[in-house]
Structure 1
Amino acid sequence: MRFTSFMGFTSEPGVGDLDPDSDTPEGRATKRYLHHFASHPEAGRIYWGKVIERPEEHWLFIDMDHALLRPPNIEYHPRSCLTDPWPPDVLAEAPVTQVLMLFFPSDLDDAAFNSLTIQFEGFKTKALDQAPDCRGVAYGWSTDGDVPVMGQPGRTGTVLMAFVGWPSVEAHVAFRQTELFRENIALLKGMKDLIIKLDYFHLACKSLEVPDN
């Protein structure tokens, strides 16, 4: 099995540039932080990016051979999803990646899980894969049901996370106005009775080299 470990964090107002390539104390701290995760013996490529709509928000993704366990002395707990295809090259190769997060109850049963997967795969095949501007899609389910639900403090769930590559945010917005999108979005309507929260945002990810372990 192959996994993508992920976590998001928000910088405080007035904090310097957190970009690991920037020559700031905060940037150097970010680089050390990323290397801490990348030093895991089963870690592959790591990706990092700011949310275009919310630049104070940052996300980290790590290719892993196994689900990443919580490291000692780290405040934030990374989660993992079983991603297909793996590795999710779209994070590194697309100019912009739409990160779609569909939150469902933590106790999702197998029948619901299978039904939801079929629905999303149908939308991917009939809509996303047919969109001329789509640069690729990877998606998967979280391995645990304790992923914090975005915008709902204290609530957790199981998440279906998808990475959809686009040439720009504008290209994604334009796709949502097409007949291709409108004709196929109904494929996801069956999710409405189970879904807790839907959120999506856009990243322009950097792919960072993993130091020698």
Structure 2
Amino acid sequence: MATEFVSFPLREGQTPHDPASRTATIIKETFDTIAQQPGFQRLYWGTETENPNILRIAIDWDSVDHHINFTKTEKYKLFIENFGQIVDISKGVLYHAHLSPHPPTRAISQPTTPATETLVAFFPSSYSKADQDKFEEDFKNILSALETHGADISTSTASGWVVEELPIPNSESNETGKAFVALIGWISVQAHLDFRNTQAFKDNIHWLRGAKDLKGVKMVHIASTLVE
């Protein structure tokens, strides 16, 4: 099983959260098409809190191959043409990850989770399986601290390694590398920001910031809607 993550900038004037808009109609048509594909399980969509002009979609598939097979169909070309009316396809970012637990529904969709922190940590291409396992084990200390000290403000988590190599942020040589994605559910964005000021956060954030060969971290918040 795998989760596809994709983000696109919306074209000017689009209103995805207005159910009466043409934007919403095209989004529904897009999701209806995806839901008809073999291997589709469910999807989650929303816009970034920090930049509402970025549309983000996460799709649970039976496997990465099920998604890849869809992209090779004639229907996919028409699907992209239609969806491209509201987003800039050329500036899209897409990757897959194997998350634990799967599905990540509780961490990523309302009403269970009003705000999801989507965190991506970047590492060199040479990052070994042993290095990956060590980081993943260390990262659990952050999640454990959250469960212990933030149970009243957090909802659920899911995390795992990205299948593809991704561009490393601010790399002068267009370097790509390994990436680890974590979904952390909060009752609000403010709850997350407040937790960052706690002693529990300060005592455990070194498991991320001090990770071996860490190349960078990107983080955004999203309020996602579940589509099944």
Q: Aligning the two structures, in what range does the TM-score lie when normalised by the shorter sequence?
A: 0.7 to 0.9
Distance 1:119 1:189 in 2: 11
> 1:55 is matched with which residue?
52
Identify unmatched segments of 5+ residues in structure 2.
Answer: 81-88
Residue 86 (str. 1) matches residue 102 (str. 2)? yes
Structure showing the higher helix proportion among its residues: 2
- Do 1:134 and 1:166's aligned partners in 2 also have CA atoms closer than 8 Å? yes
The runs of 5 or more residues in structure 1 that have no matched partner are: none
Contact 2:116 2:183 in 1 (8 A): yes
TM-score (norm. length: structure 1): 0.86
SS of match in other structure, 2:121:
strand
Identity percentage over the alignment? 27
Which of the residues 19, 28, 38 maps onto 1:31? 28
Give 2:83's aligned residue. Answer: none
On the 8 A contact 1:141/1:161 being kept in 2, the answer is yes
For the residue of structure 1 that corresponds to 2:210, the secondary structure is helix
Structure 1 position 118 matched with structure 2 position 117: no
RMSD of aligned Cα (Å): 2.1
Query: Following TM superposition, by how much is the alpha carbon of 1:32 offset from its aligned partner in structure 2, in angstroms?
Result: 2.1
Aligned runs of 1:116-195 on 2, under 5 Å? 116-125=135-144, 127-130=145-148, 131-132=150-151, 133-145=153-165, 147-149=166-168, 154-191=174-211, 193-195=212-214
Residue in structure 2 matched with residue 16 of structure 1 by the alignment: 14
| TM-score using structure 2 length | 0.80
Mean CA deviation greater in 73-82 or 56-65: 73-82
SS at match of 1:121: helix
Change (3 A) 1:79 1:39: farther
Structure 1 position 167, deviation (Å)? 0.8
Paired letter, 1:82? H
Q: CA deviation at 1:129?
A: 1.7
Matches within 5 A, 1:59-74: 59-67=56-64, 68-69=67-68, 71-72=71-72, 73=77, 74=80
